[in-house]
Structure 1
């Protein structure tokens, strides 16, 4: 994984990127067993993390809800500003790890999304 810092409209976000193109080709070559499929599904979840320390103002989604890339999933207050945390992929929210009024650190996992 590689870590990057990206500034969008004056807001700084820290992101981790994992290259999966080579892994996808390897998986296509082998026919997985049913147990291997369940392990793949778990590792396919996309992690949405806090880009900076702050406090969760609200969680805008529920578990098992379908979300689209770019859709707001949480509001994070940091430095007296409200920051929209958005889904990075289309998918289904598989797990929510935070709640309203919870303090979070930079990089802390907020929720998991299983891509479509």
Structure 2
């Protein structure tokens, strides 16, 4: 499980890498579990903890989104670059004004 402080540090690092008119980043940490049964008994039990980070960037009224489950600096930077490239080739979003303003969590 990733703690609040590490999550905020990760998001701040990622946001600093996004070259855009506007950007926001979202971090989701989740757990997945799976149990397989045979003859009314559990014969395999798997538990996985994963973290995904999403980058959304706005460039010239165009929006791009990319995601990764790697939290190292190069992956965060690459994800922001991918979101920017997607925004660059996306059509302008009709009626788009702005991303939401920052709010305390």
- Report the structure, 1 or 2, having the larger strand content: 1
TM-score between the two structures when normalised by the length of structure 1: 0.28
Q: Which structure has greater helix proportion?
A: 2
Q: Which is greater in Rg?
A: 2
Which TM-score applies when normalising by structure 2?
A: 0.30
